[in-house]
Chains A and B, each alone.
Chain A
Amino acid sequence: MLGWEFPPYFAGGVGTVCYELTKGLRKKGVDITYVMPHGPEHVQSEHVNLLVADKELEHLGIQTHKVASTLTPYVSQDEYTRMLDAYGTALMGKGSTIYGTNLLQEMHRFAAAIQKVADHEVFDVIHAHDWTTVPAALALKQKTGKPLVMHVHITDFDKTGGEHADPAVYKIEHEGFHKADIVIAVSNLVKQRLVEKYYVDPAKIRVVHNAVEPTEHNLQVKQEQISPGEKLVLFLGRVTLQKGPDYFLDAAAKVARLLPHVKFIVAGTGDMLPRMIERASDLGIGNKVIFTGFVTRTEGDQLYQMADLFVMPSVSEPFGIVPLEAMQQGTPVIISRQSGVSEVLKHVLKVDFWNVDDLASKMIAALSYEHLHTMLQHHSTLEIQGFTWENPAQQCVDIYNEVLSW
């Protein structure tokens, strides 16, 4: 399996998904060698054979050349640089980074190094996650002739709200999707994108929805309040165009006019953050919106518990795992219909992201109608228990068996 990240080493959302999926696969008896391009010296994992490609590369003495590029896997260039600093410092000491600054260069180094891995690893199927692994996956497929399963968590269109893609990224994605034997899409939304924008044959796409790992939750936890009698509405995610923080704030302003005792939290960071802080104050709700900046998973869980309502107004969300986390903490959620997760969730409220009035109206309803709130809370807590990684893992096993039977 090829991925760009793996917890605890530089873990973003997709890294977490890879981690949980491989755990589920391991329980199904699948042996996995997980290769990521970079990492510290001695990586290890309990359930996969974790390898770092550049350590293999060093032994090969392969030279790579720099290519000018502003490509990044899941975040904007600014953020990428900032995160590199933060994680690099945390993991390897100040002043060093685990990843180079040029992504395309990294991808090609990864592709070169992976061939070395192939010399001593035995495997039947190549399972690769998202576009940054494409060159490596294709090199590996070419060298070994093993079937390739491309797992698509996000396309470049989603990062910009659905209308545009970076031509260089598009080209790599396109090649990967077309040369793969099977393409896994994390939702029908992604499948539709693959068919419409990348012209992938729908017959070779399989939809495998994500899941969420069971966690300790406690429905009685709502003790932490900012102040008694106040209600809290939470946005948690990257503050970028894709996540729709602006729609959240516009709706918040409408809610605030009717419900004076509600506060709003925007948790997370991103390139739109400064503009959002300004927008909140322009909308006259500067004193009602709290911007927390980056939060850890633990802090996130605390926020879910404190919140009376969680909102994910994403403009384009291939899947969207955060509402599942909120539901685990017993928090009712509103999600946009433009998210993959809305295909599988029932006990939630749904809106079109652009319909700010509807969003505000439903926020007010969920905060005001106690029976509605309780019932959403109750049913979504039950519903979420069905979302274990057992299901997607089994689907992947079925897909492996399918490609191996050809």
Chain B
Amino acid sequence: MVNICFYFQVHQPHRLRQYSVFDIGKSDTYFDEQKNKEIMRKVGRKCYLPTNKLMLELLQQHPAFKISYSISGVALEQMKEYMPEVLESFKALAATGQVEFLAETYYHSLSFLYDKKEFQQQIAQHVSLVRELFGQTPTVFRNTELIYNNALAYDVEQLGFSAILAEGWDPVLGWRSPNFVYKSKATKNMKLLLKNYKLSDDVAFRFSNKGWEEWPLSIEKYTQWINSVNGNGDTINLFMDYETFGEHQWEDTGIFDFLQALPREVLKHPDNTFKTVSETANDFETRDEVDIHDYVSWADLERDLSAWNGNSIQQSALDELYKLGKAVKETEDKHLIQQWRKLTTSDHFYYMCTKWFSDGDVHKYFNPYDSPYEGYIAFMNVLHDLALRTKILLGKKGKQFDKHSLHVTSKPSSKVLS
């Protein structure tokens, strides 16, 4: 038998506006809410609403069909604010009982790498929102962009989760196939579900690529590939961005027809099943322990962290941001803390990546900036204003602002930018 475990990532960041040096000390409007609204409504129309409608029909038609989602807190917030009908359609999916929601960091952040306490707080915040909206308490964890290593699995097990997702990247798996359930090294019993990137990316990236030798991808062909795993794998984990449907692959590529036929075609084979992430983790025996010391992610060709911290501007932005965290929290100012947290969203650093000059255009997707440098400038300007406001608020409380919370890099500017 072969099981299909579908997991979809749903995420939209709060994009920054082109915040100039001259705004520092004058404006605390950091985010381009107009643009964020436009993008949410556009993606809502093209992807979330039509895909959710189709998913609901499929779940009703096929009681054996199961899917899982991880929707970031910042995406849920923006749905609520800009397109409540999207949120309602996810609630309708939750109500079928065939849909599972995962936990992640509320702000889709890299906090695990920089601030463990913040990491826990963001997970707690996300879990509580999922519970409130969908009436479920997540038991499976998915870190931002599938960033993973042993240490993460260990920490997440301590937080009470029973399974975690990662990229099934050959160099770290060695001879192992991603089509089994494994245990994470150094954990008691943390189940590891690995993405079958080949079969996932056939849909997510290659579906409409006319230069691909397998184009056009018929459902019959795809089901045949799935069935061929029978006998040498327990589960095929198809992990992808939800925006694949209707946004990365437009409706006219036939992606919705493909999706519509998928449960029926897969279930034609009596041994095939669909399971949610926790069912998949629980129903199959773990085959081996997987030892992943260095971070892997699902991003770019490198599958490492270089998409977010590969260059010095990204590193400096991340360092400065997390350095400021403690002082921001000491203000106990909810609005300020929330703004700081919105800055932890990984997309801000992804936009500063200089690899995309050569590495294809995935980074350009919904990227509000012309260049990585523009992204960095806007981010740092905002951070300086945030530091300034933190300083003022702490002053009012009679507390000291640690001058080193924000490292100011050059003498002439210290007057303005400190």
Contacts and interface: CB of A to CB of B under 8 A. Distances in A.
Interface residues of A, number: 30
A350 B21 contact: no
Interface string B1-25: 0000000000000000010111000
Contacts of A350: 370-371
Contact of A361 (B22, B354, B376, B408): B22
Question: By DSSP majority rule, is chain B's interface helix, strand, loop, or mixed?
Answer: helix
A374 B413 contact: no
Contacts of A259: 412-413, 415-416
Contact of A346 (B371, B376, B412): B371
Given A261-B412, A349-B373, A375 B20 contact: no
B310 to A, nearest CB: 11
B34 interface: no
A372 B21 CA distance: 14
Contacts of A375: 311-313, 354, 373
Contact of A365 (B21, B311, B354, B370): B21
Nearest to B23: A361
B410 A367 contact: yes
Nearest to A231: B412
Indicate the member of B313, B376, B412 with the most A CB atoms within 10 Å.
B412
Interface in B346-402: 354, 357, 370-371, 373-374, 376-377, 380-381
A362 B411 contact: no
A368 B415 CA distance: 11
A368 B412 CA distance: 7
A262 interface: yes
A365 B416 CA distance: 11
Contact of B22 (A347, A357, A376): A357
A75 interface: no
Contacts of A376: 373
Given A375-B311, A376-B373, A367 B22 contact: no
A216 B202 CA distance: 49
Contacts of A379: 354
Interface in A352-371: 357-358, 360-362, 364-365, 367-371
B381 A370 contact: no
A387 to B, nearest CB: 15
A260 interface: yes
Interface string A72-84: 0000000000000
Q: Max chain B CB contacts within 10 Å: which of A350, A369, A371, A374? A: A369
A371 B370 contact: no
Interface string B402-418: 00000011111101110
Contacts of B315: 371
A357 B20 contact: yes
A372 B313 contact: yes
A365 B380 contact: yes
A258 interface: yes
B316 interface: yes
B415 A260 contact: yes
Given A350-B370, A372-B377, A376-B373, A360 B22 contact: yes
Contacts of B373: 347, 349, 372, 375-376
User: Helix, strand, loop or mixed for chain A's interface?
Assistant: helix
Contacts of B412: 229-231, 259-262, 367-368
Contacts of A362: 377
A364 B357 CA distance: 25
B26 to A, nearest CB: 12
Contacts of B381: 361, 365
Contacts of A347: 354, 373
Contacts of B311: 375
B23 to A, nearest CB: 9
Interface string A247-271: 0000000100011111000000000
A229 B411 contact: yes
Contacts of A346: 357, 371
Nearest to B319: A371
Nearest to A230: B412
Nearest to B408: A368
A372 B377 CA distance: 8
A177 B413 CA distance: 51
Nearest to A383: B357
B20 A358 contact: yes
Given A376-B373, A379-B354, A368 B22 contact: no
A260 B200 CA distance: 56
A371 B316 contact: yes
A313 B63 CA distance: 64
Contacts of A230: 412
B132 to A, nearest CB: 40
B108 to A, nearest CB: 24
B319 to A, nearest CB: 9
A347 B312 CA distance: 14
Nearest to B376: A372
B377 A369 contact: yes
B316 A361 contact: no
Nearest to A259: B412
B397 to A, nearest CB: 29
Contacts of A258: 21-22, 413, 415-416
Nearest to A255: B21
A368 B20 contact: no
Given A350-B371, A357-B20, A370 B409 contact: yes
A365 B377 contact: yes
Interface in B245-282: none
Interface in A362-406: 362, 364-365, 367-372, 374-376, 379
A261 B377 contact: no
A233 B54 CA distance: 58
A364 B371 CA distance: 17
Contact of B413 (A358, A360, A361, A367): A367
A151 to B, nearest CB: 29
A372 B315 CA distance: 11
Interface string B97-115: 0000000000000000000
A347 B374 CA distance: 11
B313 to A, nearest CB: 5
25 contacts: A259-B413, A259-B415, A259-B416, A260-B415, A261-B411, A261-B412, A346-B357, A347-B354, A349-B374, A350-B370, A358-B20, A360-B22, A361-B21, A361-B377, A361-B381, A364-B416, A365-B21, A365-B377, A368-B409, A368-B413, A369-B376, A369-B380, A369-B410, A371-B313, A374-B312
Interface of B: 18, 20-22, 311-313, 315-316, 354, 357, 370-371, 373-374, 376-377, 380-381, 408-413, 415-417
Closest 7 CB pairs of A and B: A368-B413, A370-B409, A261-B412, A371-B316, A361-B20, A361-B21, A365-B377
Interface of A: 229-231, 254, 258-262, 346-347, 349-350, 357-358, 360-362, 364-365, 367-372, 374-376, 379
Given A349-B374, A368-B417, A369-B313, 7 more contacts: A258-B416, A347-B373, A365-B380, A368-B409, A372-B313, A372-B373, A375-B313
